[in-house]
């Protein structure tokens, strides 16, 4: 039996994607701002099939329609931005299209980077994907580049790999992590957990202090060299799949 293709009123669909209210979509349609398959769609009460190829067939104000569902954004998070919807100051959502804040389901970060950590950050409206990436059962590796206040002493690699390191204030040992020394005061650390300020606290436990922290990789997905701080782009299905390939 073939799977039934869902349909939706145009105004309701676009409203759920953050483009505006039904009244606003009605005005936009009458003004010729909604195009489907090359023709103006003036009646926004019309029901249309919501197929995977809809973004390639519909334009809103001259731009291709956003992904209807499964929006996955790769952001090179700058320093000083918070992974929050509500905190004061600069938020990671500020660099994205304003309409995305109004999407339903809402866009959320996949995990968090603290205010003073930069690098690879994913955002999505796909709750299943979010939970798959952050699930402890998946063991999705995260690679951080840490710049340290003092030279490494040579014991950190064994300590982090032991599976016996217990962070201050906790009672459960960390899963083994891999340290790669880049220079006396710089290292790459691969972890498979996401505890609060984990990398900073690991180096603190080894008697050092992290002065700068940058996430370079999530699973098999690396932060592109040509994606500037504050820049973002949508991920392809192949790139999303690469997250789960180590």
- DSSP secondary structure, 142-188, as one string: EEEEEEESS---S-HHHHHHSS----TT--SPPPP-EEEEEETTEEE
CA atoms within 13 A on the CB side of 191: 23
DSSP assigned state of 5: P
**Residue 214 and residue 120: Cα distance in Å, rounded?**
8
Q: In the annotation, is 66 catalytic?
A: no
H or E element at residue 130 = helix 127-134
Structural contact between residues 25 and 13, judged by C-beta atoms closer than 8 angstroms: no
Q: Which residues, at least 6 apart from 193, have a Cβ–Cβ distance to it below 8 Å?
A: 136, 174, 175
Q: Which residues, at least 6 apart from 245, have a Cβ–Cβ distance to it below 8 Å?
A: 219, 220
Of the residues 40, 66, 114, 171, which is catalytic? 114
The set of catalytic residues is: 114
């Amino acid at each position: 039996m073939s799977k039934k293709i869902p349909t939706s009123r145009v105004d309701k669909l676009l409203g759920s994607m953050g483009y505006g209210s039904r009244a606003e979509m009605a005005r936009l349609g009458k003004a010729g701002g909604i195009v489907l398959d090359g023709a103006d769609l003036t009646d926004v009460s019309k029901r249309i099939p919501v197929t995977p190829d809809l973004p390639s067939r519909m334009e809103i104000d001259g731009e291709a329609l956003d992904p209807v569902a499964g929006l996955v954004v790769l952001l090179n998070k700058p320093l000083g931005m918070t992974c929050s919807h509500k905190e004061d100051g600069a938020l990671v959502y500020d660099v994205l299209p304003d309409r995305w804040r109004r999407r339903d389901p809402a866009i959320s970060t996949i995990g968090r980077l603290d205010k003073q950590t930069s690098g690879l950050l994913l955002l999505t409206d796909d709750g299943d994907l979010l939970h798959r990436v952050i699930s402890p059962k998946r063991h999705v590796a995260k690679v951080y580049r840490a710049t340290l206040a003092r030279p490494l002493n040579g014991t950190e690699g064994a300590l982090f790999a032991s599976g016996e390191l217990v962070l201050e204030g906790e009672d459960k040992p960390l899963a083994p992590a891999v340290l790669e020394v880049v220079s006396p005061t710089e290292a790459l650390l691969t972890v498979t957990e996401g505890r609060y300020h984990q990398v900073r606290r690991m180096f603190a436990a080894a008697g050092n202090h992290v002065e700068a922290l940058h996430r370079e990789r999530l699973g098999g997905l690396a932060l592109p060299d040509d994606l500037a701080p504050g820049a973002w782009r949508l991920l392809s299905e192949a790139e999303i799949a690469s997250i789960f390939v180590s």
